[in-house]
Copies of this chain bind each other. A is one copy, B any other.
Amino acid sequence: MDEGVTRIGVSLPKNLLDEFDSIIITRGYSSRSEAIRDAIRNYIVEYKWLEKEEGEIVGVLTVLYNHHFKGTSDAIISLQHDFGDIITTTLHVHLSDENCLEMIIVKGDMAKIKKLVDKITTIKGVSNARLITAIREQS
């Protein structure tokens, strides 16, 4: 449908575009537009839960961090105690000499979970924090 398609312009740093092109060749895309649509779809799936204002959910918060940063582990554990009513279980995986992955099972009010995600993201040494919930794949 012609009316259903919009053309937009985007400015990208050259090195970011190079890296992106390299990945999409590896993944076997035929066009860059198609890959960008895919990136945008992933992005929507990733953050859609943010639009859900309230209600009880179950999810897994994955937190990648460098355990050589002094105090990062402590800060993550201490935060989990503060949010003890929505956290019962945590899985910890040693990915490499430097990197740890903490998977926090959360169950409870969405507003409280958002607050936890916000706080964990600001801890020094945390390189990535993302929430996986059932809402994600509805899009």
A contact set with B: CB distance below 8 Å: 3-17, 19-20, 22-23, 26-27, 32-33, 35-48, 50-51, 58-60, 62, 64, 67, 73-74, 77, 80-81, 84, 87-99, 101, 103, 105, 107, 127-128, 132-134, 136-137, 139
Q: How far is the CB of A25 from chain B (nearest CB, A)?
A: 10
Chain B residues near A12 (CB-CB < 8 A): 5-8, 37, 40
Which residue of B is nearest A50, CB measured?
Answer: B26
Contact A33 B10 (CB under 8 A): yes
Q: How far is the CB of A1 from chain B (nearest CB, A)?
A: 8
**Could you list 10 examples of A-B contacts with CB < 8 Å?**
A9-B9, A16-B44, A19-B139, A23-B50, A39-B42, A58-B95, A59-B95, A91-B91, A99-B134, A103-B103
- 6 additional contacts (CB under 8 A) given A6-B17, A128-B136: A6-B11, A7-B11, A19-B44, A20-B43, A58-B93, A84-B97
Does more than half of chain A's interface fall in helix, strand or loop, or is it mixed? Answer: mixed
Q: Which of B46, B47, B91, B97 makes the CB contact (< 8 A) with A89?
A: B91
In the complex with contacts A6-B14, A14-B5, A73-B77, A89-B95 CB distance below 8 A: no
